[in-house]
Amino acid sequence: MKKQAILIVFSVVLALSMFSCGGGTSGGNSPSKTVEKLFKYVIDKDYDNAVKIYANKDGKVLDEEETAKIKAMLPMVVKVYEKDGGLKSIKVTKETLAEDGNKATVDIVQSYGNGKEEPNSIDLVKIEGEWYVLVTNNMVE
């Protein structure tokens, strides 16, 4: 009976920890998962959460003004891809981790509603144990 109770508690804790890994709003626990998370938010037009996955070109979490800029730009860029039927899914093709373990590159293929496919290479940085997508846009300086 005691063993059964311990097993139930362990299962609940495990389930909760899995949920928190997948449902967090900042970067993820692996470069590939972080990229997948960003695209899920972008495809769902959940810009509030998408913006939390970006880091600036200095490899730091976005400040308030940078966050506002990216959040304003997200729907504008998404709209452009509606001509291709909208961004529908991505497939991770390669993940490369830097030697120091704090930088990574994830290669993906982006798929659109009209069947178009486009390769993309995304740089990430690890900040306090979480992965973030690096945005090097000239507007975020």
Partner 1 sequence: MTFAGDSTTSDTHANGGLSIPSALFNDGDLLFRRGRSPESHAVLITCRKSAYSHVGMVVVEGGQPWVIHAVPGENGRGPDFIRKETIGEFLAEKKASRYAVYRADFPREIRKRAADNARRYFLQHRLFDDRYDLATDEKLYCTELVVKAYGQANAALTDLGMTELNLVFGKISLLFPGNLIENPHFQLIIYH
**Amino acid identity, residue 93?**
T
Exactly one of 87, 125, 126, 131 binds partner 1 (CB under 8 A); that residue is: 87
Exactly one of 18, 21, 72, 98 binds partner 1 (CB under 8 A); that residue is: 72
> Which lies closer to partner 1 via its Cβ, residue 24 or residue 86?
86
CB 41 within 8 A of CB 33: no
CB 133 within 8 A of CB 55: yes
If binding is defined by CB under 8 A, does position 135 make contact with partner 1? yes
Exactly one of 32, 34, 36, 39 binds partner 1 (CB under 8 A); that residue is: 39
Span from 7-15, 17-25, 35-43, 96-104 in contact with partner 1 (CB under 8 A):
35-43
Exactly one of 69, 88, 97, 103 binds partner 1 (CB under 8 A); that residue is: 69
Spatial neighbors of 30 by CB under 8 A, at least 6 apart, are 95, 131
Cα distances (Å, whole numbers) of residue 100 to 14, 23, 38, 93:
29, 27, 24, 22
Q: Number of residues interacting with partner 1: please give it, by CB under 8 A.
A: 30
Question: How far is Cα 53 from Cα 44, in angstroms, rounded to an integer?
Answer: 15
Exactly one of 68, 93, 98, 114 binds partner 1 (CB under 8 A); that residue is: 68
CB 52 within 8 A of CB 70: no
- Chain residues binding partner 1 by CB under 8 A are 38-39, 42, 54, 65, 68-70, 72-74, 76-83, 87, 110, 120, 122, 133-139
